[in-house]
Structure formats: C-alpha cells, structure tokens
Amino acid sequence: MARLSPNLAGIHCFACETAHDPQQLLTVCRACGLPLRVDYNLSSVNLSLRDLQSREPSLWRYRELLPLLPGDEVSLVEGLTPLLQVEANVWVKDESRNPTGSFKARGMALAVSMAKHLGAQALAAPSAGNAAGALAAYGARAGLPVTVAMPVDTPKAFFDECELYGATIHRVQGTIADAGKFLREHGPKDAFDVSTLKEPYRIEGKKTMAFELVEQFDGEIPDVVIYPTGGGTGLVGMWKAFDEMERLGWIPRGRRPRFVSVQSAGCAPVAKAFLEGNDRTEPWPNPHTHAYGLRVPSPIGGFICVRVLRESNGAAVMVTDEDADAATRQLASRTGIDVCPEGGAAWSALQTLRASSVIRDQDRVVVFNTGTGLKYR
Amino acid sequence: MARLSPNLAGIHCFACETAHDPQQLLTVCRACGLPLRVDYNLSSVNLSLRDLQSREPSLWRYRELLPLLPGDEVSLVEGLTPLLQVEANVWVKDESRNPTGSFKARGMALAVSMAKHLGAQALAAPSAGNAAGALAAYGARAGLPVTVAMPVDTPKAFFDECELYGATIHRVQGTIADAGKFLREHGPKDAFDVSTLKEPYRIEGKKTMAFELVEQFDGEIPDVVIYPTGGGTGLVGMWKAFDEMERLGWIPRGRRPRFVSVQSAGCAPVAKAFLEGNDRTEPWPNPHTHAYGLRVPSPIGGFICVRVLRESNGAAVMVTDEDADAATRQLASRTGIDVCPEGGAAWSALQTLRASSVIRDQDRVVVFNTGTGLKYR
C-alpha cells in the first residue's frame, strides 16, 4: 500500500465533482471522462513561507501540499528553478534547468512516483517531445518500462534521449493527438497511461511552479504570468496552487496574477476559444508550428485553461513561428538563457501585449521559458 | 573599483608563490607564467555548515569563500547541483543541471564576474566545447562581447549555442591547444583571456563542487571522487576547497577523499605523468577522443593535478571511447541521468577500479557527470 499524505482529502472531477478513491490507480473521471483534481485538507496544515527557507532545493520542499510521504518519491531533484530578472519589471522562470531540460519533469516526477506506488508495472504516453524525454528518464529512475509515441517530425534529440533512457519509441504520422490514438490502439496493454490530464498527478507536480513564484517573490504576487500553453497542465496547476496558497494564508484572498496563454498562430485552440468567448476549445484543424510543445490541437483540459484566463482577467496571444524565433534570439543574446521556441513565443507575446498596453511598464511580469532550446537546434 | 571580499587575503602563484595585486585584472604569474591562487583570511570567517542551510540554492551560498561581495555577481544561478544516489555506496554529482548544461558555468560565473568588475571590456577563450557555451552565456548576461575558438570537429550544438548567445566564433583545425594559439595570434586584442587556469577565478567557481559534496553528505567526506579531467580546474579547485574547509573546521584535519582522474585513452597527459611517476605532464601527441572535454593535450595546470592525485593517495584511469559509450548508456538507462561522454568515462573508470579492488564495495564513491549529453548526440 502506498503511503499517501495524511493531508490528502480526496480526488474529484474538475467538471462534475464525482469523488474517486485515492488508493486506486486513477485515470480520468469514471462518470464523465474529464480530468480529476487532487484535494487537500489544508486546515490541518501549519506551514509558512518562512518555514520553507531551510528545506531541500526541489519541489519536494512543498511536501505538505503533495500527495505522498517522504521516501516514496521517484526523484531526479526537480523544481526550484531560477527566477532570473532580465529587465526592470520582468523575470524569466527558467524551466530549462529541470531534469531532462524542461518543465515536464515536474509533472512526471509526481505521476511516476504515484503510478509506481499505486502498483503500475509499466508506463506509456504520447508526447510532443519533452514529456516523452521526462517520462523515459523517470521510468528509468523508477525501474519501470516506458513506451512513448511522438510525431515523426519531432526533432531527433527528443527521440535520442528516450532511446538513451531505454524507452520503447513509436514514430507516428500527425500530431500528439495521433500519437495518443496510436498508443490506445497499438500500445502495450499493461502500461499505465500518463498522458496530460489523463491521470491526476502531473498537475500536482506542475502546480509547484506557482508556489515557487510566490516564494521567490518573497510572498508577493507578480501582476502577470505569461505561459506557453500546449496541454495546459501548468496553467491549470498554477491556478490550483494559488487557491491552495490562499487557503494556507500565504497570499491575500482573491489576489491572483493575470494569466496569459501563449499559443502558436498555427495551433491555438485555447486562445481561439478565449478570444471568441467560448467556454470549450474545438480541435484545431491542420496544426503546424516548430514550437512543438504548442502543437496540441485538442487539449482535454482546454475548458479549464479558458476558465483560468477568464477568472484571472487574463489574455491570450497567438504568435507566428517567425516572431517566436526572433524573440528567442533576442532574449537569449541579451540574457544568456537557453531559450526554447515556446519560451521565445512567450517573450514575443510580452512585446505584443506591451505594444497594446495590456501590459504596462509598472506591471511585474513573469515569462516562462518552459525548456532548453538545445533539443530544437 | 570592484568591491572585493574583505576575506580576500591575496593572490599568489601556485608554483613560485609570487604575490599579485587582487585589484588588477590578473592572468598568470608575472614571474614564472604558471597559474595563480586566490587566498582567503579564514581566521576571521565564522561560518558553519548549519549556517548554510537557509541560504540561496546556488554556489553564491558560499559567499564568504568567494572573492566578491553580494550584488556584483554575474549569475545565471549556478551550482548546488543534485547529488543523486544510484547504488548502495555510489552517488552521481550531476553537473548537467548547471546553466548551459555543464560544470563550466561555475568557473565562468566567477571569471566573468571578476573580469567585468575589474574593468574588462571584452572576453575570449578557446574551448573544447562546454567552456565556450558557458562563456558566451555569461558574457551575454554581463553585456560584454565574447570571442571563442573551438576545434572544427566539435559537435554542432556547441557552435549553435555560442551563436545563439551572440558570440563571435572561430573554427580551428586541431585541438583546444590550437584554438588557444589561434586566439593569441588572431583574436581580438582588447579581449581579456579567460582560458583555463590563465586567470585566477575559474578555480574559485569550480571549488564550490567540493563545498557542495561535504554539505550534501551532511559534513562527512566521500572516500573516493571520480573526476573526468581535461584542463583539471575542478580537481585543483576541489583540492583547494578541502584545504579551506579544514581551516574553517568543517572537516577533520587531514581527511580528504582519494581523487581519481579519468582521462581518455586517446589523450591522457595527467594519467600518464601520474602512472609513470613524473611531476609534470608532457604534451600528448595526436590527441583523439569524442569525449571532447578530455581532449586537452597540454594542460597548463597538469602538474597541480598530478600533485593532487599523489597527495590524496588517488589514482588515474584511461578509458577508451567504446568503454565510455557503453558506460554512458548503462548509467543513463539505469538512472534517468543525462550522461555526457566524459561522465560515461568516469562511470567506466569506477567499474575498472572495482575490478582491480582499488575501490571496494564499502567505499563511498562520488562520480562526476560533468555535463549534459544533449550537445553530443
């Protein structure tokens, strides 16, 4: 039996609130098929930002807000990435500094830890690139076999790292949606599916990005968070984390940053739904971009992303590959940060939102660089 | 005037002890041309390992043992890399988690910080690969122009990252020695030379690896440290750090790990000198290996490396590229660590030393993975 956190209060559907048993290996809501949410009993948690100061330099410092007890984690020491100031009121949260060079490590650390301790014998997921590398690495660390499927035109470095970590790799025509379909039809039947938002724990890893922002801002809250949005787990996770921080008393009630979703002009289902006033995303036809992490045409959690943008008084921006590339070069050459195309898109979005005065000079802005550019070059 | 640490006691030659002025932009000893050593007045430093616990998660936590005061550093948040347990008595110090994916970030953070604050207007260095990327990134962060020279057969990723950070790049026939010669003859005359051990501060950055080992071992000392040795700055730096920790009272007098230098069978000047009982290294003829960081045929600090191996009752191992590659795959697929060829060579050396009982099962061993494998694949 896995040793779950005593603070774990239950697991419920994000959409219909149906309750699920945390002792089971869970996927999506058995009632409606939408993503599940992990809930904590925070009234029993006595933890201040100051308490964190002397803790380990990883996301496991937020132990009371994670689902499992110390000693059971599958870890490569992920999280607590640098927040680098790059202009007067602008910081880059540099997620390239995680294991396997991307923010995907956070989610996979939690998902693989939980899957292993709840009895999974093998793991599988489709990926636009970085999630596959992270899953392959954490599977290797956990001693569990991994199968991944990626679009055939994903850059070579993503396949190479999966191979290095000993994963079984499928190259699939199309996008991550087609890779997911391939795995459902032809993947190993015994492998537990850790696809984005198809199990409850990747969100729990990703939410720690928001804990870190508040800790790194000494308890203050940035005005704007600019986030490249593919599957959207990070956006959903950070919104959840702000709710948890409010209940812990780390931040004042109702104070949130404005969240900005950055998507590619060649694949922008969340931005389109938000800008057109719809609650749900529609599959994006003929998706294309070489910011591969943004090539997610039908995100299962799209409706939650739209909700977050709306509730936070946020925004959405579509960026062309050309603008993203120019912004990548600009940010990297000015700062020494290893910027990926998705991070470049976020930097480009900042300039667009400044030009239209959605972001003003006095706003304190965090731009996410979600991974290393090395795998794309 | 740069704000130097009040603990800075002076700068002396490693070989002839000639004193130099820390307020000057220093290169090598003006008397004998050999590397310079930064000395601290440690009797005035009251700092325990426990004091460090709540400090920033970077090498700047060892502020009292670094040459400049807070606020003057050029930083991308380097150091405090994970120490990952991979077997009962074996840990990997994963230096791939530094900015630009290698241990070179540590040295360049200090060298560029000091060069900038002592008045350098431009920077240059030859490199086997990773040092160039680190210098280009820290130069960008400092706002100083950078020129690098690398052997023409260095993998493309190393050139690409330098280009991204805006450096001027020269591709040179031969090895890092030829690249250095090229820069001396054809490089920019106004650029300060931050070559390995040709200025005093890269050592100061690299020495923090040893502080971290002792801190991460809760004040204990590993029995063996296995270190891939190219220029040898890390080896020299860690030895110096153990001396400083002894004087601070962090470790018992005279307790040191045994240091093992790992070199390539195709370029092993330090290992050869050590194994043949010589005090000085000789230039290695026709050097070749695709563990490019080990292709350093005539390290200026080779004599200090040999001294460290001898004084620590250490060892030296030459590893073929084939054995290093097999070890890279083994370590990565077992652990999820992104192992570079130099790290693979170190893992191979561990197996060799176990087979010959130089390392026993009960010895606590640290193996250095000096960088990410991504740039080599």
Which region holds residue A163: left if phi is over 0, alpha if psi is between -120 and 50, else beta?
A: alpha
Radius of gyration in angstroms for the set of CA atoms belonging to chain A, rounded to a whole number: 19
Domain final residue, candidates A141, A159, A193: A193
- CA B216, B217, B218, B223 dihedral sign is negative
Do B2 and B117 meet the contact criterion of CB atoms below 8 Å apart?
A: yes
Residue A43 included in any domain: no
- Cβ distance of B139 and A336 shorter than 8 Å: yes
- How far is A107 from A199, CA to CA, in rounded Å? 10
Residue A45 included in any domain: no
The chain B residue lying nearest A338, using CA atoms, is B100
- Give the number of C-alpha atoms closer than 13 A to the C-alpha of residue A191, restricted to the C-beta side: 23
The chain A residue lying nearest B338, using CA atoms, is A100
Residue A257 included in any domain: yes
B53 touches chain A (CB under 8 A): yes
β-strand pairing of B123-126 with B146-151: parallel
Tens of pLDDT, residues A268-302: 999 999 999 999 999 999 999 999 999 999 999 99
- How far is A343 from A205, CA to CA, in rounded Å? 20
B77 touches chain A (CB under 8 A): yes
Which of A82, A84, A377 comes nearest B160 by C-beta? A377
- List phi, psi (to 5°) of B86: -120, -15
- Cβ distance of B136 and A97 shorter than 8 Å: no
Count CB neighbours of B354 within 10 A.
Answer: 15
Q: What is the pLDDT of residue A72?
A: 85
- Cβ distance of B337 and A76 shorter than 8 Å: yes
Based on the fold, state whether residues A176 and A316 are members of the same structural domain: no
Task: Identify all chain A residues contacting B53, using CB atoms and an 8 Å cutoff.
Answer: 54
- Cβ distance of A336 and B138 shorter than 8 Å: yes
pLDDT tier, A3 (very low <50, low <70, confident <90, very high otherwise):
confident
- Cβ distance of A165 and B374 shorter than 8 Å: no
- How far is A183 from A149, CA to CA, in rounded Å? 7
Percent pLDDT > 70 in chain A is 99
**Closest approach of chain B CAs to the CA of A77, in angstroms?**
6
Based on the fold, state whether residues B365 and B223 are members of the same structural domain: yes
Based on the fold, state whether residues B206 and B254 are members of the same structural domain: yes
- Cβ distance of B100 and A329 shorter than 8 Å: no
pLDDT tier, A144 (very low <50, low <70, confident <90, very high otherwise):
very high
The chain B residue lying nearest A332, using CA atoms, is B165
Query: What are the tokens at A103?
Result: 């923010």
A84: helix, strand or coil: strand
Q: Which amino acid is at B360?
A: R
Which of A137, A373, A375 comes nearest B336 by C-beta? A137
Query: What are the tokens at B78?
Result: 């380097």
A87 touches chain B (CB under 8 A): no
Query: What are the tokens at A6?
Result: 């005593």
Query: What are the tokens at B104?
Result: 């070179």
- Cβ distance of B97 and A77 shorter than 8 Å: yes
- Cβ distance of A76 and B82 shorter than 8 Å: yes
Say which residues have a Cβ less than 8 Å from residue B355's Cβ, sequence separation at least 6. Answer: none
Residue B366 included in any domain: yes
Residues A33-55, mean pLDDT to the nearest whole number: 95
**Closest approach of chain A CAs to the CA of B14, in angstroms?**
32
Do B81 and B93 meet the contact criterion of CB atoms below 8 Å apart?
A: yes
**Closest approach of chain B CAs to the CA of A115, in angstroms?**
17
Q: Which of A76, A92, A159 to mutate to test the interface with B (most CBs of B within 10 A)?
A: A76
Count CB neighbours of B255 within 10 A.
Answer: 11
The pLDDT of residue A41 is above 80: yes
The secondary element (H helix, E strand) that includes residue B368 is: strand B365-369
pLDDT tier, A14 (very low <50, low <70, confident <90, very high otherwise):
very high
Containing domain of residue A185, as a range? 105-193
Q: What is the pLDDT of residue A71?
A: 87
Tens of pLDDT, residues B76-125: 999 999 999 999 999 999 999 999 999 999 999 999 999 999 999 999 99
3-state secondary structure B254-318: CCCCEEEEEEECCECHHHHHHHCCCCCCCCCCCCCCCCHHHCCCCCCCHHHHHHHHHHCCCEEEE
Angle between helices B156-164 and A321-335 (to 10 degrees): 80
Based on the fold, state whether residues B156 and B291 are members of the same structural domain: no
Task: Identify all chain A residues contacting B165, using CB atoms and an 8 Å cutoff.
Answer: 332-333, 336
Which of B53, B165, B336 comes nearest A141 by C-beta? B336
Which of A139, A140, A336 comes nearest B165 by C-beta? A336
A165 touches chain B (CB under 8 A): yes
- CA A97, B97, B35, B169 dihedral sign is negative
SS3 helix, strand, coil % of chain A, rounded to 5?
40, 20, 40
Which of A53, A57, A374 comes nearest B101 by C-beta? A374
- Cβ distance of B336 and A136 shorter than 8 Å: yes
**Closest approach of chain A CAs to the CA of B33, in angstroms?**
32
Tens of pLDDT, residues B245-257: 999 999 999 999 9
CATH number at residue A317: 3.40.50.1100
The pLDDT of residue B2 is above 80: no
Domain final residue, candidates B193, B211, B229: B193
- Cβ distance of A336 and B137 shorter than 8 Å: yes
What rounded mean pLDDT belongs to chain A? Answer: 97
Based on the fold, state whether residues B217 and B341 are members of the same structural domain: yes
CB pairs under 8 A between A and B: 113
Q: What is the pLDDT of residue A1?
A: 52
How large is the ipTM? 0.96
B139 touches chain A (CB under 8 A): yes
B140 touches chain A (CB under 8 A): yes
| Cα angle B134-B161-A205, degrees, rounded to a multiple of 5 | 80
- CA B269, B231, B354, B258 dihedral sign is positive
The pLDDT of residue B241 is above 90: yes
Residues A2-12, mean pLDDT to the nearest whole number: 91
Which of B100, B140, B337 comes nearest A335 by C-beta? B140
Based on the fold, state whether residues B256 and B294 are members of the same structural domain: yes
The pLDDT of residue B1 is above 80: no
Q: What is the pLDDT of residue B72?
A: 85
Q: What is the pLDDT of residue B44?
A: 87
Residue A30 included in any domain: no
A85 touches chain B (CB under 8 A): no
Based on the fold, state whether residues A186 and A229 are members of the same structural domain: no
Based on the fold, state whether residues B284 and B206 are members of the same structural domain: yes
A357 touches chain B (CB under 8 A): no
| Stated length of chain A | 377
Task: Identify all chain B residues contacting A218, using CB atoms and an 8 Å cutoff.
Answer: none
What rounded mean pLDDT belongs to chain B? Answer: 97
Based on the fold, state whether residues B360 and B320 are members of the same structural domain: yes
A37 touches chain B (CB under 8 A): no
Residue A12 included in any domain: no
**Closest approach of chain A CAs to the CA of B71, in angstroms?**
13
- How far is A291 from A110, CA to CA, in rounded Å? 25
A193 touches chain B (CB under 8 A): no
Residue B75 included in any domain: no
Residue A61 included in any domain: no
Q: What are the beta bridge partners of residue B264?
A: B267, B319
**Closest approach of chain B CAs to the CA of A142, in angstroms?**
8
Based on the fold, state whether residues B338 and B366 are members of the same structural domain: yes
The pLDDT of residue A232 is above 80: yes
- How far is B63 from B37, CA to CA, in rounded Å? 17
A57 touches chain B (CB under 8 A): yes
The chain A residue lying nearest B146, using CA atoms, is A333
Based on the fold, state whether residues B233 and B305 are members of the same structural domain: yes
- Cβ distance of A338 and B161 shorter than 8 Å: yes
The chain A residue lying nearest B141, using CA atoms, is A335
* Domains: count for chain B: 3
Task: Identify all chain A residues contacting B328, using CB atoms and an 8 Å cutoff.
Answer: 164
Tens of pLDDT, residues B40-65: 999 989 999 999 999 999 999 999 99
Query: What are the tokens at A169?
Result: 């790799």
Based on the fold, state whether residues A288 and A360 are members of the same structural domain: yes
Domain final residue, candidates A134, A169, A193: A193
H helices then E strands: how many in chain A? 12, 13
Task: Identify all chain B residues contacting A333, using CB atoms and an 8 Å cutoff.
Answer: 140, 164-166
- Cβ distance of A99 and B97 shorter than 8 Å: yes
